[in-house]
Structure 1
């Protein structure tokens, strides 16, 4: 099995060395970045399986949160925030910004490894069981060895469902993600549930063996849709 890849974005050279050595000893493939711009340059051509991200970077005290926003606008790659900012509101803000976990400094290496393993377990195995892979850099989807051509909205729908396999996504959440209101629209969204049904139908036609008996995109009547696991 391919070893998972990790990007460490941290400006403290001592911490980078400790984490890099520990992850490599544990069998992970590792790349490191010391600044937000260096990390962005790496992510332009490569998507790791997980990112370990310090909140305080050379660019600013919230450089990590700014980088997290940049990542979340483009990818669902798991991100664990690491920071000396350990108050409850700091953790809540990071998690609400899209982080998958939060580790406070100082930390034990064993805890970091355990949390990385837990996040990877949550985000990888269910997708592998479905033989589904999503290459967010190239906007390509592969199912069971077949490359599937999707429209932008079909791709966004599948990517959203795959971000948390098994979780039921309410129709309202799908609407907000696929048809984000423009700033001058006062929060109004002119798409509706029928538009979601339309794209679920179109997506099923492309990825299901039998679209009439879907096994990948499952309707949970009265609630929304989930990725079948």
Structure 2
């Protein structure tokens, strides 16, 4: 079955044009034009991905994404569409939980390629790779448990902590390789498909956010930098059921 994508944009012509082309490339899709419509559609349907415009009539896309990520109500990958090409805006979009960022006007083939890359990364993070010792639903480390089915973090008292799709993929990559130095090139390859113009910065943002998130409970630096070599996940791993 082809991936089903939700397109959220107040410009109905953009939605229609993207939808028509996506069908040609094998994607199912549906459109929403406001914050309220998006939330209503998400409540009744499951989607593989959301394409979210920054400018919406009732709430801007960045604020909407931040709110839904914090509430844990939007777990699927999100690609932001924006008329602004400023680097600061792109970084903010990635920081609040976007998996990629495309500026308008855009070529439809580039958008399709970005969508496929994000979906590929999302699917790869769910797959079990050989020889990496991935067994069981849970991976325990420090005061955390990584749930590989729900793709989230769980605290020792059972509180669920949501992370974005890209952040989950990055964290799972680290916890599967404890004590091993992972180079920036390996991380870039793992997250391949993101715009190379700001992929390097995006990795820094994800690692920084993961460090803050994980260290909030026990002040331990789980992801340590090895100068001129890369990063290492510096915590023993336990396997849950």
**In the superposition, relative to structure 1, how do residues 221 and 66 fare at CA in structure 2: closer, same or farther (>3 Å)?**
closer
* Structure ranking higher on relative contact order (CA contacts 8 Å, 6+ apart): 2
In the superposition, the TM-score normalised over structure 1's length comes to: 0.62
Instruction: State the secondary structure of the residue aligned to 1:112.
Output: helix
**In the superposition, relative to structure 1, how do residues 177 and 58 fare at CA in structure 2: closer, same or farther (>3 Å)?**
same
Instruction: State the secondary structure of the residue aligned to 1:11.
Output: coil
Q: Check the 8 A contact 2:7/2:50 in 1, yes or no.
A: yes
Question: Structure 1 residue 72: deviation in Å?
Answer: 1.2
**In the superposition, relative to structure 1, how do residues 10 and 161 fare at CA in structure 2: closer, same or farther (>3 Å)?**
closer
CA distance in 2, matches of 1:158, 1:100: 11
Question: Structure 1 residue 159: deviation in Å?
Answer: 8.8
Name structure 1 gaps, 5 residues minimum.
134-139, 144-150, 180-188, 197-219
Equivalent in the alignment of 2:189:
none
Question: Where do residues 81-100 of structure 1 align in structure 2 (5 Å cutoff)?
Answer: 81-100=80-99
Equivalent in the alignment of 1:124:
123
The alignment status of 1:66 with 2:63, answered yes or no, reads: yes
Question: Structure 1 residue 25: deviation in Å?
Answer: 1.5
CA distance in 1, matches of 2:117, 2:238: 22
CA distance in 1, matches of 2:22, 2:136: 26
Query: Aligned residues, how many?
Result: 178
Equivalent in the alignment of 1:184:
none
Instruction: State the secondary structure of the residue aligned to 2:79.
Output: strand
Name structure 2 gaps, 5 residues minimum.
130-134, 138-146, 151-155, 179-207, 223-231
Instruction: State the secondary structure of the residue aligned to 2:173.
Output: coil
Q: Check the 8 A contact 1:168/1:226 in 2, yes or no.
A: no
